[in-house]
A and B are shown apart, each in its own frame.
Chain A
Amino acid sequence: GDSVTQMEGPVTLSEEAFLTINCTYTATGYPSLFWYVQYPGEGLQLLLKATKADDKGSNKGFEATYRKETTSFHLEKGSVQVSDSAVYFCALILVGGSQGNLIFGKGTKLSVKP
């Protein structure tokens, strides 16, 4: 079935370090891909998205490129801040159907130390 696999955390980095969170997917159809972020005590917020192969989503210094050949959508940021501490979820939606539910990875907790 359709699924998302992301690297397990927690990930602990120092401020200004480079961040990569790996995400790969399995999909029977043609998905749109997303990264959501959950700050402590809050709901999920859309961080960035990509709807077709080779698209790059970007927001708040985060980037991810939709790689169809490797079925991946890795999240990167060049210089993390303490305020980036949160749980990050990779997700997909299958395009073309009448349903629109998100399929999520397990989430990766990021802690950034000053």
Chain B
Amino acid sequence: DSGVTQTPKHLITATGQRVTLRCSPRSGDLSVYWYQQSLDQGLQFLIQYYNGEERAKGNILERFSAQQFPDLHSELNLSSLELGDSALYFCASSAASGGYNEQFFGPGTRLTVL
């Protein structure tokens, strides 16, 4: 158990809908990262937050957004969903940002868009 929790574990929805994925980092970790794992794209970095502020952006679509709250949990919002958004979404956390800070991964949320 990494100490990172993600809810829900599975999510099934329809095209055009909006969903919210939730992540609670390990106790004391200030950085949260979101990654998408799909069969065609592999594991891709989406976005990073550090202590409530956006720190880095990767291949995140404009239809996707995220935020980190004062209690350090994070939410990833996916809107106007398309079939191609079906993927496993991982959250990871680390103590700080920059340099080498080991990232601990949650179990993921599997999103299926029908």
A interface list, Cβ under 8 A from B? 32, 36, 42-46, 49, 51, 89, 93, 95-107
Q: Which 10 A-B pairs have the closest CB atoms?
A: A99-B56, A104-B43, A43-B105, A101-B45, A44-B105, A98-B98, A106-B42, A32-B100, A43-B107, A100-B97
Are A107 and B100 closer than 8 Å at their CB atoms? no
Chain A interface, >50% SS class: loop
Are A100 and B107 closer than 8 Å at their CB atoms? no
Find the B residue at minimum CB distance from A43. Answer: B105
Are A99 and B97 closer than 8 Å at their CB atoms? yes
Given contacts A43-B105, A45-B105, A93-B100, contact A102 B45 (CB under 8 A): yes
Q: How far is the CA of A44 from the CA of B107 in the complex (A)?
A: 8
Q: Give the size of the chain B interface in residues (CB under 8 angstroms).
A: 29
Are A97 and B102 closer than 8 Å at their CB atoms? no
Q: How far is the CA of A107 from the CA of B37 in the complex (A)?
A: 11
Are B43 and A107 closer than 8 Å at their CB atoms? yes
Tell me if B25 counts as interface (CB < 8 A to partner A).
no
Find the A residue at minimum CB distance from B55. Answer: A99
Q: How far is the CA of A104 from the CA of B104 in the complex (A)?
A: 15
Tell me if B31 counts as interface (CB < 8 A to partner A).
yes
What residues on B are CB-neighbors of A42 within 8 Å?
107
**Inter-chain pairs besides A99-B56, A103-B45, 7 sampled, C-beta below 8 Å:** A46-B102, A51-B100, A98-B97, A99-B98, A100-B31, A100-B96, A102-B35
What residues on B are CB-neighbors of A102 within 8 Å?
33, 35, 43, 45, 92, 103
Q: How far is the CA of A87 from the CA of B36 in the complex (A)?
A: 16
Are B100 and A98 closer than 8 Å at their CB atoms? no
Given contacts A89-B43, A99-B55, A100-B48, contact A43 B108 (CB under 8 A): yes
